Structure formats: structure tokens, C-alpha cells
Structure 1
Amino acid sequence: MAQPRGERAQGPKGTRGMSRGDPTIDEPPRAIAAELELRSPAFNDGTLIPDRYSRQGGDTAPPLEWTHVPDGTEELALICEDPDAPGGTFVHWVVTQIPPEATGIGGTDGLPPGATVGRNGFGDLGWGGPQPPVGDEAHRYFFRLYAVDRPLGLDEGATADDVHAAADDHSLARGTLVGLFAR
């Protein structure tokens, strides 16, 4: 027998979170189907980023390489953030419109053709190397590469927030590499 409209089936009540991404929301977040393998020939995951990539040491973007870009990828987007910065998360690099056939970025190769630089936390376009306060424990720099199923439509100067908002619910795969840096 069908329940009358407006009544709820018996059983425990679920809980609701306050915003998207809250782990207490009843509906699980969209699962990312695959993981990109993101690495650097300059440093390994969880190790120190060489000084030449720091703000005072040359401010050259570190080389990154990746594999396992899934079929259906229309664009790759890269963000590098330092969650240990004194004022909260600090953005060091934003790159969008990376062609899905690209396999690397940074270093002496620079950007793949068609890629577009965004604005970092220093207010500049492109890479802004690590510059944590002197004496701080090593900060963590999260390099995240997203494979998305549609063009994000972001132009030069896009921010990390712009990328997060545009890529929401469109990520096919993600890769993360963490480098450390201290002065």
C-alpha cells in the first residue's frame, strides 16, 4: 500500500550539512572516476622543492609531468596552493586551457600551446614561487591538476576560485603532487 503524499517512511532521520562539500550531507559528492599521475623531475612527492623554483631563487616554474588523462577530457587546469601561509591558503600558480594531449608544463618548456596563465596570490600572472616566512616549518605546496569534461571558459588572469567554481561537477580525474619549502 502506497504511503499518503507528504509522509515519510519510518526509520532513522538523515542529517543535512550546511553547504556543498560538507561531509555530513546525505548525498555523497560526485566521485572522481580516475586519478591522474602527477610528478616532477625536480622533486618527489613530499620532498623539498629546490631553491631555484622559489621566489628569491629564480622564480622559475617547476617542471611537472602527467599521465593517465581520461578519454573525454576537454581541458586540463592546474592550481598550486600553500595552505600553510600565515593569512590562509595562498595561490602560487593557476593555469587553464591546457590541451588534454599535453603531458607536461613548467621548467624550460614553459606552457603548452594554448594554455593560459591565471593570477597568483602576489597579484602577478603565472608562477609565483614559494616565499614562506623565515623560520617557519616547511610549508606544503599542493600542485593539483584537473581533467575536466568541458572547456572552463576562463581567460588570462583567472583565479583559483574561478577554476574551482568552473570545474565543480566537471572533473573526470585529478592528480596531486605535494612539495615542501622552508627558508
Structure 2
Amino acid sequence: MNNVMKSGLKLSLASLFAVGMLGGCSSDEDSQAPQGSQSSSGVTAPAPSQPKVADVKPAEPVAMPKMEEAEKAVADKVEEVKQQAESEAAKAVASAKTGSMVYNTCVGCHGAGGEGGVGPKLAGQAKDDIVMKLGKYKAGEQVGPMTAMMQPIASGMSDEDITLVADYIATTFK
């Protein structure tokens, strides 16, 4: 063989060897070979460093409240807010009550101007006297000939109502 052919053959063999090495590193056959095994090029892949699937524990489940519990919690909160609103509304109505509103139950017997009628005249009486008499009626004490009529009315009045109506009568019907 001549020198040209020999050098061409050497070059061809070197090229094939290089392609074989490169191809051996990335061929489908080697990429599917299990790790830690030897490839066709003679290179041993490193052993796996990741844990096996069997060694991995599943995450703890997150406890989620049941829908019924959540709905009950919401319903309870709605009821609580509703009761609070009703309580505050009742307080607002009570504080808006005036002596003239309380006196509306008295008009039938004591007159629109406190001038009297079936009941005695209230105009000109002092606030403290009215509070004292209504307090006695409320306590069930005998005050005068109209005690039987006044006890049920006074017993349905709060202390605030008594104060409001006595102030109204004393300042309005002088």
C-alpha cells in the first residue's frame, strides 16, 4: 500500500473511532441502559444518588373542614350578628323614646294638656311628686281612689319611662 492510502485509511479509522465514541455517549441504546451499568463504550455510569420511589413517604393530608361544618360556622356567625343588630336596634328605639311618647298612654284619663278628666289633673305637679306616685303604684302600694287603675299601668313602665313622663309633664304642663 502506498503512503497516501495508508494515511487515508488511518484518517478514516480515526474518524470512525471518534464518531463511535461520540455516538456511544449519546446513542439510544446507551441512554436506555440502567444507571450503574456499562455502556458500549466501556464507560460506567455513576450509581443513582436519589432515593428510590419506595423510600419516599407521601405527604400528610391537609385536614380540610367539612362543608357542613363550614356552613354551620357561617350560619352561627350570621345569627350572632343578627341578634347583636336587633339588640342595638332595640336600644336605639328605647333611647329615642320621649316623655311625650310615654304620655300618649295617659291622655285618655289625664287629658291632652294634663288638665284631668277620669284621672286627676297632672298639670302643675312637680317631677319628683309624679316619680314618687308612679313608683308607689308600680310597687303595689295604695295611693288613692285610682290605685286599682294605675297599678297595672305603672307596673308596665320602666324606671326610665317613669322619669321621662314625669319630666315631660312637669316641663310641658305648668
Give the structure with higher Rg (CA).
Answer: 2
Higher relative contact order, chain-length normalized (CA < 8 Å, sep 6+): 1
Q: Normalising to structure 1: TM-score of the pair? A: 0.23
TM-score (norm 2): 0.23
Answer 1 or 2: which has greater strand percent: 1
